[in-house]
Amino acid sequence: MSNPLISAAELLQLVNAPTGNLVLLDVRWVLGRNDNVEQYLAGHLPGAVFVDLERELSGRTGEHTGRHPLPDPADFQAAARRWGIEDDAQVVVYDDAGALAAARCWWLLRHAGFTSVRVLDGGLEAWRQLKGPLELGPVEPTPGQVNLSWGAMPVLEHEQLEGYSGVLIDSRATARYLGIEEPVDPVAGHIPGALNRPTTDNLNSQAHFRSSSELREAFGKLGVPQAGPEQPGAAAYCGSGVTAAHQVLAAELAGLPLALYPGSYSQYVSYPQAPVVTSDEKHRDRR
């Protein structure tokens, strides 16, 4: 298994002396902010293309889709071509928020069968610390002709939740998991049986991913198995399937298979009959 991360130093070498078709994708996105494009225009890696998480890394929402459903495969391929990706491209994705958004793009490209994609460890801040060059303004790449597929990464669908015997990881902040607060979804709490491990636990104080051994130990404490016969024996969810992809990335660093529940908690609570658990560990009947 190749390393899904790339260091700022290694990327700087590629930018200064490119070998092959290098494509940089800036996935600037933070929940609740609407200035993502402006942040990108004010300074991004040379040649980096802005990726709109809401429009290009998510599909159309419906009553039971969750807030960020997976995009239609054809739409995602069209977006990847707009970004300038060819079949032989080396793709590096980054953001300015600990890879919490970049991991979504990484996961989708992998899910679409594209394997030559890595995440910049430490993100834009690591690049700044290295005094890497920045550019202003938009980038309009020459369209690519990449051919993508779909379904290469394991997923846990909503209908598979009932009777699911694997380890289910809730990747949200602990206060949301316990139902102490819920700033986004209409009902506070978590899916019964889910164990909490916030996505931010994957990072150290410099917003770099923890070592593979540290991550392996952390996932092991939750009971995440090494592998399953067909489907990974563990899955991750978050509020809407975005930051849970970060959990999948961390698990891959640890050498562990982890499925993604794309609809996540926002899809789960869209069904009024779905039980939730709060800090008192009692089911709340919402019918």
Q: b/e per residue, 186-206, with b = 16+ CB within 10 A?
A: ebbbbbeebebbbbebbbeee
At residue 135, the 3 state secondary structure works out as strand
Annotation says 238 is catalytic = yes
Q: Which of 234, 238, 245, 249 is catalytic?
A: 238
Coil/strand/helix, residue 41? helix
CA distance 43 to 139: 11
Amino acid letter, 44: H
Q: Report in angstroms the alpha-carbon separations of 281 from 179, 188, 189.
A: 10, 12, 9
Tokens matching residue 12: 């700087």
Catalytic sites, residue numbers: 238
